[in-house]
Amino acid sequence: MNHDVFIKEAIEEAKIGLQEGGIPIGSVIVHNNKIIGRGHNKRVQKGSVVLHGEMDALENAGRQKASVYKECVLYTTLSPCSMCSGTILLYGIPKVIIGENKTFLGEEDLLKSRGVEVHILNNKECIDMMNTFINNKPELWNEDIGE
Amino acid sequence: MNHDVFIKEAIEEAKIGLQEGGIPIGSVIVHNNKIIGRGHNKRVQKGSVVLHGEMDALENAGRQKASVYKECVLYTTLSPCSMCSGTILLYGIPKVIIGENKTFLGEEDLLKSRGVEVHILNNKECIDMMNTFINNKPELWNEDIGE
């Protein structure tokens, strides 16, 4: 499994979100080394309170069999919040690769306590992108994490 | 706070979902004794893997201030799964009224451990509706809970 290839695709999604005036968080869902869903945060673009990057990627993957989810790897540019972590648990996604958790620490401990394999890449591009965004639009960022 | 009035509205949403050929789970979000969002499971209707009843109600409520969420009560006909529970935690919704938890037990313990007030009504109409649905469409139900 080449994490670099897939985290780059998640970063591409985050950049699309930024170009659209949105929050730069992206995600891809990978099954058998192939992307089956990709997405980015849609709070601004769709006025959505549920389409975080991970949720958008899952939604775009469409309805999958339970057996498929249980063989997937989810890549996300940022540590998943409680909503996205709860969704990972609902569908039994066994492995999550996280671009960074320096600018926001989500529910990694909850995921690990339920047996999910969690890897943190601490990718510089992910960290820089979020730091810049949070500095530029703190109110939008706070809204996205319920603060 | 009149729980009967609002759980009835959540049940109405569940019934609309059933009439549409969907999964009969409904929810309303109440702020200052007024419904600000209502919805029902949209797995079948929209091919959605994220729009459980609670998520649909939150999505329909639209982008709210953090201070509003923190004064809301969420009503749902069924015990909230890990996705919906994680979303309740993300937005800091302090109180959840649950129609029933006999046919499915969600993440009530997680919610309570994080300080969310949880009430179970064990409403007969909610229980009967879900039992009938699960008996009629077990595969659809299993898909909705990731099994």
**What is the interface pTM, i.e. ipTM, of the complex?**
0.97
Q: What is the CATH code for A3-145?
A: 3.40.140.10
Give the CA radius of gyration of chain B. 14
User: Across chain A, what does the average pLDDT equal?
Assistant: 97
A65-94 mean pLDDT: 98
Q: Tens digits of per-residue pLDDT, B87-108?
A: 999 999 999 999 999 999 999 9
Please indicate whether residue B54 is annotated as part of the active site.
Answer: yes
A71 at the B interface (CB within 8 A)? no
Catalytic residue, chosen from B9, B20, B54, B108, is B54
CB distance B40 to B79 below 8 Å: no
Instruction: Decide if pLDDT at B22 tops 80.
Output: yes
Check A59 against B48: CB less than 8 A apart: yes
Show which of residues 114-133 on chain B sit within 8 Å of chain A, judged by CB atoms.
none
Q: pLDDT (tens digit, 9 = 90+) per residue, B41-98? A: 999 999 999 999 999 999 999 999 999 999 999 999 999 999 999 999 999 999 999 9
- The whole-model pTM stands at 0.98
Q: In whole angstroms, what is the distance from residue B88 CA to residue B75 CA?
A: 11
* Average pLDDT of every residue of chain B: 97
A62:B49 CB<8 A = yes
Q: Flag whether pLDDT at A1 surpasses 90.
A: no
Q: Which of A66, A87, A145 sits opposite B50 (nearest CB)?
A: A87
The minimum CA-CA distance between B125 and chain A, rounded to whole Å, is 25
Provide, for chain B, the percentages of residues in helix, strand and coil under a 3-state DSSP scheme, each rounded to the nearest 5: 50, 20, 30
Percent of chain B with pLDDT over 90: 99
